[in-house]
Amino acid sequence: MANPNQDARNGNGKYVRTPETAQRDARAAELLSQGYSYREIAKELGYQSHTAAIQACRRACRDIVQGPAEKLIALSVDRLEYLFAKAMEIAEADHVVVSHGRIVKDDQGNTLKDSGPTLAAIREARATLESFRKLTGLDQPAKVNVSGGVRYEVVGVDPEDLT
């Protein structure tokens, strides 16, 4: 049987996922759930090998999980953006010192500014940004390349004795 998706290639010759291939992968997963073996799935759906049927089932499972996961990430990003905006709103507002239920004033009658709420809001904004970076993968550890070599030296042994 000829490959029904032979024309589904990009400019580099690699296969491009189409709605038809996604549907075929979903059918492969459905057959697997009905007890078909990978070899039977490959034969039934025209995959070249049982390995291709395995890959199709994996793609189908990834598609099933990916959609809801993307929605959850988008919802979390929206919530973090809201929290950040609220924290910045509080950080940018003027706060006055209150003691025993009364606004504290200096000797000239001016209200004293309270930096405590501003600092707390800044901490919350920073924590929200950290959560955003973790959620989106921006906090991936940096790769460190180490170059150079290791030189071993055996002390107390004449190199001429080793040959």
pLDDT of res. 144 = 72
31-35's contacts with Cβ under 8 Å and 24+ in sequence apart are: 32/57
Residue 98 phi/psi, 5-degree rounding, is -125, 130
pLDDT of res. 1 = 46
| 50 touches 102 (CB < 8 A) | no
pLDDT in tens, the chain (163 residues): 455 555 556 677 677 778 888 889 999 999 999 999 999 999 999 999 999 999 999 888 888 777 777 888 888 899 999 999 999 999 999 999 999 999 999 999 999 999 999 999 999 999 999 998 888 878 777 677 777 777 777 677 777 777 6
* Tokens, residue 91: 């950080």
